[in-house]
Structure 1
Amino acid sequence: MKKYLIQYKPFLLFIGVFFVAYVLLTLIYQYYLSRFGTAGELDGITKLVGNHTERLLQLFNDDVKFEKIPSEPYVRISYNEKIVASIVEGCNAISVIILFVSFIIAFSGKLKSTLLYVLGGSLFIYILNICRIASLCALLYYFPEKSHFLHGVLFPLVIYGLVFILWIVWVSKFSRYAK
């Protein structure tokens, strides 16, 4: 047994650090969310995502409206006077950022490069998510019958695919395992 623990130590360390970081960050985020109650109050991060998405869409189309429904925990999006989507807490990409950060911590390198990559990568994911929601709104206006494919397949594939590429770049260029 000791032989296997020694042989697989790097893998077991990665799994342990990843798991601890993921659970800790998730608990911190859940604590943050618990401060907003259940009476339809929307958390600040999701509001910010909604505001940034609205501004991005307004660059291309004046007829975009984001409406907060007082008793509901979401923002309704109208595009050319047609309701196309809603932004809920799960749309803010924090869970994707937590996954990203946990992986980077588990494969950490030098402190400065790790912190810079976590900050830069998190900002990239946030901006990518804003673009994802804006694109999704426009596409749902023109192709409402493709909503399952767009929301459930294409856009998750894009965002998780790019996060995977960020991980590959980190491991091969900056982590302590990079050559």
Structure 2
Amino acid sequence: MKKYLAQFKPFLIFIGTFFAAYIALTLLYKFYLNSFKADEVDGITNLVGRNVEQLLHAFNFDIKVQKSLSGSWLEVLYNNYYIVRIIEGCNAVSVIILFIAFVLAFSGKFKVTLYYILFGIVFIYLLNIARIALLTILLFHFPEKNHLLHGVLFPLIIYGTVFILWIIWVNKFSKYAK
């Protein structure tokens, strides 16, 4: 048994660190969400909505993001036409938690790890803002492509980007990088 523990030690440390970080961050986020009433939109999702609105206003789009009267989400109106809603799951926090857990599991030097995590959080957040903004415009023009855009293309873009960030981390900055 000791032989196998020694042989698989790096893998076990990776798995242990990954799941410990993932569970801890998920629980922290859950406590954060529980601080809001059922009909409230959480602060991060509100920030995402404001940033989507600011980005589209910067490109002179007629956009309005408002709290829904019937639920805990934001409604995005383009040319006074309701296009999409931004729910808590659209704020990319779960993707960011996954990213952080992986980087911590393959951690390198403390400062480099910290900077890469901060860079990744900002990059994923900004990519998500651009994703929602672009999705709003595309769904206005191509509503029949909802499944392809929202269900396939845009998740592929965000998860693919996170995967590329992981590959860069492991190959360039982690303790396993050559």
Q: Where on the TM-score scale, by shorter chain, does this alignment land: which range?
A: over 0.9
* Cross-structure match for 2:16: 16
1:71 deviates by 4.5
Contact kept? 1:76, 1:85, Cα under 8 Å: yes
2:1 paired with 1:7: no
Q: Per-residue displacement from partner, 1:63-101 (whole Å, max 9, x unpaired)? A: 111121244101101111211100010000000000000
User: Within 5 Å, which residues of 2 pair with 1:8-157?
Assistant: 8-38=8-38, 40-157=39-156
Contact kept? 2:61, 2:78, Cα under 8 Å: no
Determine helix, strand or coil for the equivalent of 1:108.
coil
Q: How many residues align?
A: 178
Structure-2 separation of matches of 1:132 and 1:62 = 15
Q: TM-score, normalised by structure 1?
A: 0.97
Structure-1 separation of matches of 2:149 and 2:60 = 21
Structure 1 counterpart of 2:10, one-letter code: P
The answer to which of 154-163 and 59-68 deviates more is 59-68
Q: Per-residue displacement from partner, 1:24-83 (whole Å, max 9, x unpaired)? A: 000000000000021x10110000000000011112234111121244101101111211
Unaligned runs of 5+ in 1: none
Determine helix, strand or coil for the equivalent of 2:64.
strand
* Cross-structure match for 2:171: 172
Q: Per-residue displacement from partner, 1:77-131 (whole Å, max 9, x unpaired)? A: 1111211100010000000000000000000000000000000110000000000
Structure 1 counterpart of 2:8, one-letter code: Y
Structure-1 separation of matches of 2:96 and 2:102 = 10
The answer to which of 108-117 and 71-80 deviates more is 71-80
Determine helix, strand or coil for the equivalent of 1:61.
coil
Determine helix, strand or coil for the equivalent of 2:124.
helix
Structure 2 counterpart of 1:107, one-letter code: F
Structure 1 counterpart of 2:22, one-letter code: Y
**RMSD across aligned C-alpha pairs, in angstroms?**
0.9
Determine helix, strand or coil for the equivalent of 2:76.
strand
Contact kept? 1:41, 1:71, Cα under 8 Å: no
Structure 1 counterpart of 2:87, one-letter code: V
Contact kept? 1:26, 1:98, Cα under 8 Å: yes
Q: Per-residue displacement from partner, 1:1-24 (whole Å, max 9, x unpaired)? A: 222211111111100100000000
Runs of 4+ in 1 over 2 A off after TM superposition: none
